[in-house]
Amino acid sequence: MAIQFTGLSGQSPVNKSERSLKDDALNSTADKTNVKQNSNTMAEDTVKLSGAAQILQNQQAKMNSLPDIDMDKVEQIKNAIASGEYKIDTQKLASNMASMDSLF
């Protein structure tokens, strides 16, 4: 059932659904204004890193710039294997394997 008021200050009658649409439009505009105000507030926030955090950040940047594989070391080992000069320390290998096994 629509509620209509007539004869108020020369305005045309407005039914409930039309009023809902107008209210939604006003609320949407208010929400956008609030978002702008909130984003302005967020833009003013600042963070200051401690000296230790700055050092860690610098070290992380240096580590990220290094390659994942040391190709010089790989080439040295390849050449040593190819020439028969690569020696395996079986005691050290067995010790390392045993220490890895204890982790599981």
Listed in sequence order, the residues at least 6 apart from 5 whose beta carbon sits closer than 8 Å to its beta carbon are: 13, 14
Residue numbers in the chain where pLDDT is lower than 70: 1-43
pLDDT of residue 104: 79
pLDDT of residue 68: 87
pLDDT of residue 21: 64
Residue 57: how many CA atoms within 13 Å on its side-chain side?
Answer: 7
pLDDT of residue 84: 93
pTM: 0.34
